[in-house]
């Protein structure tokens, strides 16, 4: 058997290539891989962005920029993340209502986020010195606009995934990330105090234009034409029932992702928060890998509930194949990765990053379970698991903060993820064996589109 330049047998390379091509023909893997690739691209470009920021801006300006971005993402995501599960669940079966579903999600998410951000601006003195720069009409209006922009930006990715076109997501991220770095460099001298925040938001606003032209001008009309005409689109009441159960749980998870950093920022100085935020950002990127494949599972579970067990097994297997090596490398290389940004980042953030990376392993099990529940519209059980996880993370992090400082967030995440994974394991096994997520009278729970992939494409 001959070997190529890589040292691997040609037959083995050929077999691997065939397997990859077979995976890419399956929308479960194609969407999942695209979203995972987007996370990797975002992480690489994000590290480049923050490396430049650490070199071009003072530690205080660096920390302030991180804090402003974190607060903006918190308010933008208050409702936007609540619609992520609903869009993944209902876009596949949206039919002629797909465009209306997406537009309403954009509108409600943007309006709610801006309202919450306005309350934040009116109570700025309560949030510490870090956010004092938002005082005044100009900075306040810019912050409100940034919340609206990020709300739509958050939802457009899951919209593409729901339309089975997540391959466009990494393309958008590459363009967005490169423009963001160029602006960061250009504003370092002209706008040192706010250059980080401005360079983050302006490219985001620009990116919305071509992506939403693609979504509403081409992809949604095609999706509508290809939807089976025999299936009625989901009713507003059906979507409302789903959101009533899913949103409280999603809001709880939002508290883990965005509220915890905001609370940390209110308790520590700007430089310390900058060290914390860098490690927390990288750890959250790894966590996104688990959510990416789960989002794809929700989409495919909505297209065809009868294949939930097989799709869940495949999603879990692929997720661990990709995430386990990433976690291992992160644990080993954490000091080196953070030292790129400066010695202080490595000293303050290494343990936190390692703990957050390890917490992703049980999170994979939790996300696959939640995804299967979403595809079956099991909103009440969704809320129970998510609220329980958030309460555990917040409670343990707050309890340990006086003893461990910012590292308490890492300990809280690892403990909570392990506990919840153990509690849901029995239910997850039933899903993997039988696809058992019984739904009670939910319209469309067992719908199948005309283009569901054959069993062979999942192997």
* Chain centre to alpha carbon of residue 15: 32
| 119 contacts 93 by C-beta, under 8 angstroms | no
Residue 302: predicted pLDDT: 62
Which residues, other chains included, contact 104 with Cβ-Cβ below 8 Å and sequence gap of 6+? none
Q: How far apart are CA 224 and CA 26, in angstroms?
A: 21
* Separation CA 446–CA 301 (nearest Å): 9
**What is the rounded average pLDDT of the residues 86-112?**
87
Whole-number Å distance between alpha carbons of 303 and 161? 12
Helix, strand, coil percentages (3-state) for the chain, rounded to 5, are: 85, 0, 15
Residue reference for tokens 């739904």: 439
Percent of the chain with pLDDT over 90: 24
271 HSE (CA, 13 A, CB side): 7
Is residue 227 classed as helix, strand or coil in its secondary structure? Answer: coil
Give the per-residue pLDDT at 454: 36
Picking from 106-120, 160-174, 238-252, which range would have the lowest pLDDT averaged per residue?
238-252
Produce one character per residue of 46-78: b if its CB has 16 or more CB atoms within 10 Å, e if not.
bbbbbebbbebbebebbbbbbbbbbbbbbbbbb
Kindly report, residue by residue over 121-156, the tens digit of the pLDDT: 988 888 777 787 888 888 889 999 999 999 999 899
Cβ partners under 8 Å of residue 141, min gap 6: none
* pLDDT 10s digits, 309-318: 888 888 888 8
Specify the residue for token string 């959250």: 284
* Nearest Cα residue to 220 out of 49, 136, 94: 94
Q: Which residue has the tokens 């005309």?
A: 450
Alpha carbon distance 6, 253 (integer Å): 43
Q: What are phi and psi of 167, to 5 degrees?
A: -65, -20
Which residue has better confidence, 438 or 87? 87
Which residues are CB-neighbours of 5 under 8 A, at least 6 positions away? none
pLDDT for 8 beyond 70 = no
pLDDT at residue 19 in the model:
59
33 with 319: CB under 8 angstroms?
A: no
State phi, psi for 196 to the nearest 5 degrees: -65, -50
What pLDDT digit, counting tens, does each position of 378-425 carry?
Answer: 778 888 898 899 899 989 988 998 888 889 999 999 999 999 999 999
Beta-carbon contacts of 7 under 8 Å, excluding residues fewer than 6 positions away, are: none
Going by pLDDT thresholds of 50, 70 and 90, the confidence category of residue 229 is low
């Amino acid at each position: 058997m001959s070997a190529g330049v890589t040292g691997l047998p040609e037959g083995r390379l050929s077999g691997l290539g065939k397997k990859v091509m077979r995976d890419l023909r399956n929308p479960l893997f194609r969407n999942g891989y695209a979203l995972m690739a987007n996370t990797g691209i975002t992480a690489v470009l994000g590290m480049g962005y923050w490396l430049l920021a650490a070199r071009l801006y003072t530690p205080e300006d660096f920390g302030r920029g991180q804090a402003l971005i974190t607060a903006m993402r918190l308010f933008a995501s208050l409702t936007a993340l609540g619609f992520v599960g609903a869009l993944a669940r209902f876009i596949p079966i949206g039919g002629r209502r797909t465009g209306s579903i997406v537009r309403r999600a954009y509108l409600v998410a943007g309006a709610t986020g801006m309202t919450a951000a306005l309350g934040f601006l009116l109570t700025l003195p309560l949030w510490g010195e870090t956010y004092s720069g938002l005082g005044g009409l100009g900075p306040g209006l810019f912050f409100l606009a940034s919340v609206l922009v990020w709300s739509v930006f958050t939802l457009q990715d899951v919209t593409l995934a729901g339309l089975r076109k997540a391959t466009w997501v990494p393309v958008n991220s590459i363009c967005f990330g490169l423009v963001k770095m160029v602006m960061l460099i250009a504003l370092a001298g002209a706008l040192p105090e706010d250059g980080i925040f401005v360079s983050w938001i302006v490219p985001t606003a620009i990116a919305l234009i071509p992506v939403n032209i693609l979504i509403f001008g081409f992809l949604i009309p095609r999706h509508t034409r290809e939807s089976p005409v025999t299936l009625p689109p989901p009713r507003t009441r059906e979507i409302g029932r789903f959101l009533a159960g899913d949103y409280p749980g999603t809001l709880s998870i939002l508290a883990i992702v965005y509220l915890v950093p905001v609370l940390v920022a209110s308790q520590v100085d700007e430089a310390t928060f900058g060290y914390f935020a860098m490690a927390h950002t990288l750890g959250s990127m790894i966590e996104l890998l688990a959510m990416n494949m789960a989002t794809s599972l929700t989409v495919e579970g909505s297209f065809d509930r009868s294949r939930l067990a097989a799709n869940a097994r495949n999603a879990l297997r692929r997720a661990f194949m990709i995430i386990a090596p990433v976690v291992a490398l992160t644990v080993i290389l954490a000091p080196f990765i953070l030292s790129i940004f400066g010695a202080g980042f490595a000293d303050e953030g290494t343990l936190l990053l390692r703990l957050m990376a390890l917490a992703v392993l049980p999170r994979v099990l939790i996300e696959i379970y939640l995804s299967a529940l979403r595809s079956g519209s099991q909103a009440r059980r969704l809320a129970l698991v998510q609220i329980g996880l958030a309460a555990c993370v917040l409670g343990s992090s707050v309890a340990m903060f006086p003893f461990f400082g910012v590292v308490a967030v890492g300990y809280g995440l690892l403990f909570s993820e392990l506990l919840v994974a153990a509690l849901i394991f029995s239910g997850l096994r039933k899903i993997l064996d039988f696809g058992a997520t019984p739904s009670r009278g939910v319209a469309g729970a067992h719908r199948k589109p005309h283009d569901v992939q054959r069993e062979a494409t999942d192997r």
